[in-house]
């Protein structure tokens, strides 16, 4: 064993965050196949869709149809992302969503642009959505968007995010997530913020959500785990770009995170070979090469590795 950390929980976010940031529209049938393949690869928490205005996010217009097609599983948590009470009501009405994910925003700039709320208002809305989930017999959690930097307001103070986490914790979410929405975080910042948030919210778990926009995604995952984060969002193939950086890489790739953690002796519950297979399938559906690196290189050691390879290996 290399570390004392033995397991990390993964949340597959490709059906929502991945697809939402892709230009290509994907049919409901392919979304359901993506979800089924994630289940087969071992995923037990999946962000399946978001209940937002279809005019604002046309890729998620089929949220109700996706929910109707979800396999019935007692051992799986299906997460629906919601921004307001109307979205929460829709998600609850499907009868298929287990957990509502609310979003609070660290800055007024992004809050107003994204959901028409100041940062403070977004905290109150997130708390109220968590309580709506609980009242309906679901669980609720919240993500603090732009925890490491904002596309409009620039630097985000660690203290502001810590303060928000403490306020949201009062609504008893199942966890609080810190999201690097635009992929500007670095491992030192991540370690500092995760440990300060943990200290502020007591027993509540911390989930992390990174975009690999500037290549720091995996390093940030590692730093977050060492600092005490227990759950990691990832998207198969590294699907999904960044809404504020056209052409940039997407979420950290599930197979890259799983490779790194499993090789380090940290169990994820996911099957790397099946993830790589899923990457190939998804690349075909999206008609492009996906950014994940392990998706291209494969795992290690490989069962069919040649013993006497004469290639120049220097
Ligand atoms: Zn994201």
Closest listed residue to residue 4, CA positions, set 200, 183, 265: 265
* Beta-bridge mates of residue 139: 99
Q: What b/e readout covers 215-242, taking b as 16+ CB neighbours within 10 angstroms?
A: ebbbbbbbbbbebebbbbbbbbbbbbbb
Question: 4 lies in a domain?
Answer: no
Query: Domain holding 127: CATH number?
Result: 3.20.20.70
Ligand 1 midpoint to CA 56 (Å): 16
Closest listed residue to residue 105, CA positions, set 142, 54, 134: 142
Ligand 1 midpoint to CA 304 (Å): 36
Cis preceding-peptide flag for 284 (omega within 30 of 0): no
The range of the structural domain enclosing residue 292 comes to 9-313
Please check whether residue 31 is in contact with residue 67, taking contact to mean a CB–CB distance below 8 angstroms: no
DSSP 161: H
Question: 15 lies in a domain?
Answer: yes
- Predicted confidence at residue 307, as pLDDT, reads 54
Question: 2 lies in a domain?
Answer: no
Which string of DSSP letters, residue by residue, matches 167-225? HHHTT--S-EEEEETTS---HHHHHHHHHHHHHHHTT--EEEEEB-TTS-HHHHHHHHH
The model's pTM is: 0.95
Q: Cα 171 to chain center, whole Å?
A: 21
Distance between CA atoms of 249 and 234, rounded to whole angstroms?
13
242 is known as an active-site residue: yes
Ligand 1 midpoint to CA 211 (Å): 6
Question: 279 lies in a domain?
Answer: yes
Question: 281 lies in a domain?
Answer: yes
For the chain, the farthest-separated pair of C-alpha atoms sits apart, in whole angstroms, at 65
Ligand 1 midpoint to CA 57 (Å): 14
Ligand 1 midpoint to CA 115 (Å): 15
Closest listed residue to residue 183, CA positions, set 250, 103, 133: 250
Ligand 1 midpoint to CA 266 (Å): 24
Question: 1 lies in a domain?
Answer: no
* Overall domain count for the chain: 1
Question: 188 lies in a domain?
Answer: yes
Distance between CA atoms of 218 and 125, rounded to whole angstroms?
31
Ligand 1 midpoint to CA 311 (Å): 41
Q: Which of 70, 97, 164, 242 is catalytic?
A: 242
Question: 3 lies in a domain?
Answer: no
For the chain, the 3-state helix, strand and coil shares in percent, each to the nearest 5, are 40, 20, 40
Instruction: Please count the other Cβ atoms lying within 10 Å of the Cβ belonging to residue 71.
Output: 11
Conformation bin of residue 252: beta by default, left when phi > 0, alpha when psi is -120 to 50: beta
Ligand 1 midpoint to CA 81 (Å): 11
- Predicted confidence at residue 50, as pLDDT, reads 97
Instruction: Spell out the per-residue pLDDT of the chain, length 314, in tens.
Output: 788 999 999 999 999 999 998 888 899 999 999 999 999 999 999 999 999 999 988 999 999 999 999 999 999 999 999 999 999 999 999 999 999 999 999 999 999 998 899 999 999 999 999 999 999 999 999 999 999 999 999 999 999 999 999 999 999 999 999 999 999 999 999 999 999 999 999 999 999 999 999 999 999 999 999 999 999 999 999 998 877 777 788 999 999 999 999 999 999 999 999 999 999 999 999 999 999 999 999 999 987 665 555 666 77
Q: How many residues does the chain have?
A: 314
């Amino acid at each position: 064993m290399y570390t004392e950390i033995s397991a990390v929980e993964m949340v597959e976010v490709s059906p929502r965050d991945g697809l939402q940031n892709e230009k290509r529209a994907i049919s409901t049938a392919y979304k359901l196949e993506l979800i089924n393949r994630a289940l087969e690869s071992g995923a037990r928490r999946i962000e399946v869709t978001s209940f937002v205005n279809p005019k604002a996010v046309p890729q998620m217009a089929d949220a109700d149809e996706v929910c109707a097609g979800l396999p019935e599983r007692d051992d799986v948590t299906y997460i629906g992302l919601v921004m307001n009470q109307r979205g929460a009501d829709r998600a609850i009405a499907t009868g298929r969503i287990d957990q509502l994910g609310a979003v609070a925003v660290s800055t007024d700039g992004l809050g107003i642009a994204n959901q028409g709320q100041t940062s403070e208002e977004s905290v109150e809305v997130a708390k109220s959505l968590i309580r709506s989930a609980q009242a309906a017999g679901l669980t609720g959690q919240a993500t603090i968007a732009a925890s490491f930097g904002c596309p409009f307001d620039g630097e985000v103070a660690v203290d502001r995010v810590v303060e928000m986490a403490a306020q949201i914790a009062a609504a008893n979410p199942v966890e609080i997530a810190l999201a690097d929405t635009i992929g500007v975080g670095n491992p030192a910042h991540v370690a500092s913020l995760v440990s300060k948030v943990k200290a502020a919210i007591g027993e509540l778990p911390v989930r992390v959500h990174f975009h690999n926009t500037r290549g720091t995604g995996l390093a940030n995952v590692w730093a977050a785990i060492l600092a005490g984060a227990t759950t990691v969002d990832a998207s198969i193939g590294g699907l999904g770009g960044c809404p504020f950086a056209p052409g940039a890489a997407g979420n950290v790739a599930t197979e890259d995170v799983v490779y790194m953690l499993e090789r380090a002796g940290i169990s994820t519950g996911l099957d790397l070979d099946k993830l790589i297979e899923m990457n190939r399938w998804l690349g075909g559906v999206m008609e492009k090469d996906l950014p994940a690196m392990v998706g291209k290189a494969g795992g290690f050691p490989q069962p069919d590795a040649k013993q006497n390879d004469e290639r120049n290996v220097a």
